[in-house]
Structure 1
Amino acid sequence: MDLPSFLWLWRIAAWSMGLSLVAYVLLALIGIRMLHVRTLWQRESSWLRSLHYKIGICLVSLVLLLLLIGIVGTYGHFGSLGHSQHLWAGLTTVMLVLLSAGSATQIGVGHPWARRIHIGANIAIFFAFAWVSITGWSVVQKYLPQYHFPLVIEISHNSCDRLI
């Protein structure tokens, strides 16, 4: 496959990763708020729980989209998978997000274990996102030299002197 035709795919991946991180932070903030309300024995807002579920569904969708893009892009470029640690970082992230979402559906009075699994998976997702971001940056560096347009503006020493 011709990789330059995949540029739109990489743009979708970049936006999806950014939105996934935003969704994760929002979910963490809402989840901490829900935990705070519950520990104070206050009545939980139904809209807050609903928002938490909706953002969670968005996160699951974005992570699955990233998995699909990664598989299609890597297979399209190399003809096979597993050329870096990014595959394992991505699969770990996907599994943890799915574990978190699955355990969230079981949280309730009859399943005290579900909340612990949900919170534990979400803490692990933080480290998985860090791992997938670091390994993803090295993957991006493999593809960027193939494109002939300025993605990063370099500041030369002379231009810095003019600014001073």
Structure 2
Amino acid sequence: MTFNLPDDVKYWLQFGHPLLMWVLFGLTLYAMYLGLQVRRTRSAEGEDKKALIQGQFNQKHHKIGSLLLAMMVLGNIGGMAVTYLNNEKLFVGPHLLAGLAMTGLIALSASLTPFMQKGQDWARNGHILANVAIVGLFGWQAFTGVEIVQKILTN
């Protein structure tokens, strides 16, 4: 199945996924900061706790996490779609496999939210572990993605 898009459109579509992913990488780091502040709030006492509660880190973390979940899944699907449109195949390699792993991990991380809200420490630890893995994979993905963009630009 081929799609007859103009060559200019096909060319410029290739840059939407990398740009979105760099923005999401920054948001992921911000979500991690917010998550650390939520954890700090939970363990703080007295005036420190009151001051941290004013930051509403829990709500901000939840909102950014929801945005990340939606945009990462859609961004990964979009990246695969554009690759398929331009090449009529997907390139199965480390970049694609790590991206798919990140998509699964972010879904797993989000699915632990109801258990965390009920105070389950195993869910918090699983959430943290999944998100640390996402940050690590995301950092690596960013640089392998730059290599792919450089190949596109040289062709």
Deviation at 1:84, TM superposition (A): 3.0
Residue in structure 2 matching 1:39, options 34, 43, 66: 43
Superposition RMSD on alpha carbons, in Å? Answer: 2.1
With the length of structure 2 as denominator, give the TM-score of the two structures: 0.81
2:55 aligned with 1:52, yes or no?
A: no
What does residue 156 of structure 1 align with? none
* Percent of matched pairs sharing the same residue: 29
What does residue 80 of structure 1 align with? 89
**Number of residues paired by the alignment?**
146
Instruction: Judge conservation of contact 2:20–2:75 (CA < 8 Å) in 1.
Output: yes
Instruction: Judge conservation of contact 1:99–1:121 (CA < 8 Å) in 2.
Output: yes
Q: Which has the higher contact order (CA 8 A, sep 6+)?
A: 2
Counterpart amino acid of residue 35 in structure 2: G
Counterpart amino acid of residue 51 in structure 1: K
With the length of structure 1 as denominator, give the TM-score of the two structures: 0.77
Counterpart amino acid of residue 45 in structure 1: I
Secondary structure in 1 matching 2:14:
helix
Deviation at 1:9, TM superposition (A): 2.4
Instruction: Judge conservation of contact 1:96–1:125 (CA < 8 Å) in 2.
Output: yes
Deviation at 1:8, TM superposition (A): 3.9
Secondary structure in 2 matching 1:107:
helix
Q: Which has the higher helix share?
A: 2
How far apart in 2 are the matches of 1:108 and 1:70? 33
Name the stretch that deviates more: 11-20 or 87-96: 11-20
How far apart in 2 are the matches of 1:129 and 1:70? 15
Secondary structure in 2 matching 1:105:
helix
Instruction: Judge conservation of contact 2:106–2:130 (CA < 8 Å) in 1.
Output: yes
How far apart in 2 are the matches of 1:110 and 1:53? 16
Cα 1:105–1:10 change in 2 (3 A) is farther
Write out per-residue CA displacement over residues 83-131 of structure 1, whole angstroms, 9 at most, x where no aligned residue.
4321101101111111111112321335321101101111111211022
How do 1:1-164 and structure 2 match up within 5 A? 1=3, 3-41=7-45, 42=49, 45=53, 47-146=56-155
